[in-house]
Amino acid sequence: MIERRDRIFHLQNDSASYLFRAAEHGFLEHLYFGPPVSTDDAEAFAVHPGTGWGCSVLYNDADNAASYDILPLEWSGSGRGDYRESPVELRRGGQPLSTEFRFCGAEELERDEMHASLPKSRGGQTLAVTLEDTHAKLRLTLLYGVLPTAMTRRAVLENLGEEPVEIRRLMSQMMDLSGSFTLHSFTGGWIAEARHTRTPVTQTASVLGSTTGSSSNRCNPGFLLADPEATEDSGRVYGFNLLYSGSHYASVQKSLQGRTRVMQGISPVNFAWKLEPGDRFETPQSVFSCSEKGFNGLSEQMHTYILNCLIPPYWNGRSRPVLFNNWEGTMFSFNEQKLLRLARHARRIGCELFVLDDGWFGARNSDSSSLGDYSVNRKKLPGGLSGLAEKLRRQGLQFGLWFEPESVSPDSELYRAHPDWVLSDASGREDLMGRHQLLLDLTRPEVRDYIVKQVSDTLDSAPISYVKWDMNRHSCALGEKQHAYILGLYDILGRIFGPRPQILLESCSSGGNRFDCGMLYFSPQIWCSDDSDAIERLQIQNSLSYLYPQSCFGAHVSAAPNAQTLRHTPLPTRGNVSFFGCLGYELDLELLPPVELAEIRAQIAYYQLHRQTFQFGRMRRNKAPDGALVWQVTGKDETLVGLYHELMHAAPPYETLFVAGLDPQKRYTMASRPQLLRVGAFGGLLRYVLPVALNPNGLVISTADAHYKMKDGEQTVTASGAAFAAGVALSARYLGTGYDANGRMQSDFGSNIYLVCEEKTGGET
Ligand code: DGJ
């Protein structure tokens, strides 16, 4: 809902009110962003600058309080006395251009007509507030969107003058919030994405962002500002994100007056955009939300927004197939026979989609050649893609394919034919390479047309139901083309996948190097990280869950020891972590012992049974025992809870499992998922339970280990919803005093999944 009263504007949805007004001198004053209030309350939130602060530059020399610097604002210009960070920086004729934008008018729009290529939130109402700087001859339109669980903002700048203006910085939004906060950001790097960092917000600015040309694995564009006392279920939390996949920027800084200025947009580093007379520049949308119900409340609102208003509607609520991907199993070294053998295993264990990763085209037997040449390598695949797809179809598997269309190998037909198609440094300096590849210049229409044609022709040449769109290196030659590159990328994605909505697009960039709301507009899921180690993934998926729903996470079970960490995580835990995402398997299935294949078959069957809940249930992070994490998803008639431990310590205490959101009056039964406990996990300890002393490294034990499993942590509890909310007692962990068939006999990195359903009459679940 959007309410206007005189010069007061009130945006409201179920969780929040956002109030601002056009104040004296025409500046937009930020009044309030928090739990719903009435428009009548607006005045109550206005600050009273009294006799003003010293050292202020004044709009009225007789009024010490008439300073731009001390008002909570919705937007600030530059060089006119607000010395806090400005969201705009312009130049005209090579000189800095000062700006002060004053209110001109506002209107509700039927539709927010955005730049055709920029991702846009779907639905909602839009308010356009127009400001002008008559001296600088500029018009600034601030567009506010109101959606059921979030709000959006973006800015459009128009040059009304006769001379070009250079935009050096134009943020999507800026606001001066009231309150004290802790900043929660998600930073890292390759195979170490989304590490949760907490920083107190003070007068020392905190700056988040990326300058790589993509949203990057260094700092996710999404962040939170939370009441320092907020918990998962209480306290005020604001979440911010950006519908953009290029270099981004956000800053958070508290003023002396106690207001926190937060802004977010395209990174100003190396940014320059020439705005010719009569032209307009549009920023991407920033999306934000506020909850009084702690981090989980905020997460739920952001998840709902992403599912209902951002991802391609075709994929909202639509089951994602359990996939097998050959990358970690084979890398580049495969042929059709090997793929078909893997496919046979994959089908037997229950996979539904076979994804052929890198290496199927040109002469790509390593990462040193062929990017750009998407013609099938007939030595590896004599029957071509359609031949392979047909064989997979006969086995009952759908077919998915990997591409890296933005890049080119210097050793490729494409590069030899069009060496000028790569991004080149404006000063003539050679671009630097990484992984033996360069980036194509997506700002050129002929390059975009080429990519659209190559990928579309391939997609139309075989029944391909899934695409993994990879992008593995940045270019140092992007320079001022960085924004145009991203617009080019969006144009390409829109042209390829717009007409093919039924193709499931999973984007990837060396894992999570472009995990953002811009990509989610086109691809409903993203490969979170090249780190497939379940324990690392636990942290990565946990961090991402603050802002993104679990159906956005490509989550695969890979081999142990893990290729990124050398960790031996038990197979059940590898499955239990991947369950909270779009499940896949990425390992050489031919190398697994029967007992592991049986465990995987059981994992997939369990996941398929509860797939809708795992993928689209309401996800929350629950109170957890020390050193553990607990995730919960709640679907139509069931709740699933995952409990994950990291390191084992001797004599572990009793543990309690909390299940939230059940009806306190009803009775529920909780049952653990039966899972594999390897015989070999006990090594030489087996002599205590076996009638004969066997060599733990001998044939009998290794044969038993490959074929048989022991019982682990199988537990059933029936109790009221109130009892589950208060916490029910779990079976004991391994206590160092012997095997307990009813206990959780796990060491480091043990985990369990519990299914909670309403008790059926007759006591059955
Ligand atoms: C990087 C991706 O993240 C991997 O999953 C894999 O697809 C490789 N690229 C292939 O080169």
The string of pLDDT tens digits covering residues 431-469 is 999 999 999 999 999 999 999 999 999 999 999 999 999
Please give the distance, rounded to the nearest whole angstrom, from the Cα atom of residue 101 to the centre of ligand 1: 47
Cα 481 to its chain centre, rounded Å, is 25
Q: Quick check: CB of 356 below 6 Å from ligand 1? A: no
- Which pLDDT does position 25 carry in this prediction? 87
Percent of the chain at pLDDT exceeding 90:
90
Q: Quick check: CB of 511 below 6 Å from ligand 1? A: yes
Q: Which two tokens stand for residue 727?
A: 């916490």
pLDDT of residue 300 exceeding 90, the answer is yes
Q: Quick check: CB of 586 below 6 Å from ligand 1? A: no
Closest CA to 265 of 280, 252, 281, 247: 247
Q: From CA 218, how far away is CA 642, in angstroms rounded?
A: 28
3-state secondary structure at position 214 = coil
Within 10 Å of residue 746's Cβ, how many Cβ atoms? Answer: 22
- Which pLDDT does position 764 carry in this prediction? 47
- Which pLDDT does position 136 carry in this prediction? 97
Closest CA to 437 of 508, 494, 383, 367: 367
Name residues whose C-beta falls within 8 Å of residue 62's C-beta, 6 or more positions apart in sequence. none
- Which pLDDT does position 686 carry in this prediction? 82
User: Could you read off the pLDDT of 560-603 as tens digits, one per residue?
Assistant: 999 999 999 999 999 999 999 999 999 999 999 999 999 999 99
H/E stretch holding 32 reads strand 28-34
Among protein residues, the one whose CA lies closest to atom 11 of ligand 1: 358
Among protein residues, the one whose CA lies closest to atom 10 of ligand 1: 358
What is the identity of the amino acid at 703?
T
Q: Quick check: CB of 508 below 6 Å from ligand 1? A: yes
Q: Which two tokens stand for residue 239?
A: 């979440």
Among protein residues, the one whose CA lies closest to atom 1 of ligand 1: 510
- Please state the atom number of ligand 1 nearest to the C-alpha of residue 511: 3
Cα 390 to its chain centre, rounded Å, is 34
Q: Which two tokens stand for residue 68?
A: 């731009």
Are 542 and 232 within 8 A, CB to CB? no
Helices (H) and strands (E) in the chain, counts: 15, 41
Within 10 Å of residue 341's Cβ, how many Cβ atoms? Answer: 14
414 falls in which pLDDT band (50, 70, 90)? very high
- Which pLDDT does position 762 carry in this prediction? 62
What is the residue-averaged pLDDT of the chain? 96
User: Could you read off the pLDDT of 627-672 as tens digits, one per residue?
Assistant: 999 999 999 999 999 999 999 999 999 999 999 999 999 999 999 9
Name residues whose C-beta falls within 8 Å of residue 748's C-beta, 6 or more positions apart in sequence. 645, 646, 647, 648
Please give the distance, rounded to the nearest whole angstrom, from the Cα atom of residue 426 to the centre of ligand 1: 30
Q: List C-alpha distances in Å: 354 to 396, 435, 445, 737.
A: 10, 26, 33, 45
Q: Quick check: CB of 176 below 6 Å from ligand 1? A: no
pLDDT of residue 249 exceeding 60, the answer is yes
What is the identity of the amino acid at 538?
L
Q: Where are the alpha helices (DSSP H) in 545-636?
A: 571-578, 594-609, 611-616
Rg (CA), the chain: 28
pLDDT of residue 419 exceeding 70, the answer is yes
Q: Quick check: CB of 241 below 6 Å from ligand 1? A: no
Q: From CA 367, how far away is CA 435, in angstroms rounded?
A: 7
Q: From CA 765, how far away is CA 755, in angstroms rounded?
A: 10
Q: Which two tokens stand for residue 129?
A: 């507030």
The per-residue b/e assignment along 342-354, b for 16 or more CB within 10 angstroms, e otherwise, is bbebbbebbbbbb
Residue in this structure with the two tokens 């960085």, named with its chain if needed: 482
Q: What are phi and psi of 146, to 5 degrees?
A: -115, 120
Q: From CA 87, how far away is CA 99, in angstroms rounded?
A: 11
Q: Could you check whether the bond before residue 164 is cis, i.e. omega within 30 degrees of 0?
A: no
Q: Quick check: CB of 329 below 6 Å from ligand 1? A: no
Q: From CA 276, how far away is CA 279, in angstroms rounded?
A: 5
- Please state the atom number of ligand 1 nearest to the C-alpha of residue 357: 7
- Please state the atom number of ligand 1 nearest to the C-alpha of residue 510: 3
284 falls in which pLDDT band (50, 70, 90)? very high
Instruction: List active site positions.
Output: 470, 530
What is the DSSP secondary-structure string of 482-528?
HHHHHHHHHHHHHHHHTT-TTSEEEE-BTTBTT-SHHHHTT-SEEE-
3-state secondary structure at position 22 = strand
Q: What are phi and psi of 93, to 5 degrees?
A: 55, 35
What distance separates the 2 farthest-apart alpha carbons in the chain?
98
End-to-end CA distance of the chain: 43
Residue in this structure with the two tokens 């009294």, named with its chain if needed: 50
Q: From CA 167, how far away is CA 90, in angstroms rounded?
A: 5
Mean per-residue pLDDT for 139-157?
98
Please give the distance, rounded to the nearest whole angstrom, from the Cα atom of residue 470 to the centre of ligand 1: 7
Helices 384-395, 336-349: inter-axial angle, 10-degree rounding? 30
Q: Quick check: CB of 409 below 6 Å from ligand 1? A: no
Q: From CA 644, how far away is CA 538, in angstroms rounded?
A: 8
Pocket test for ligand 1, best of 510, 526, 528 (most atoms within 8 A of CB): 510
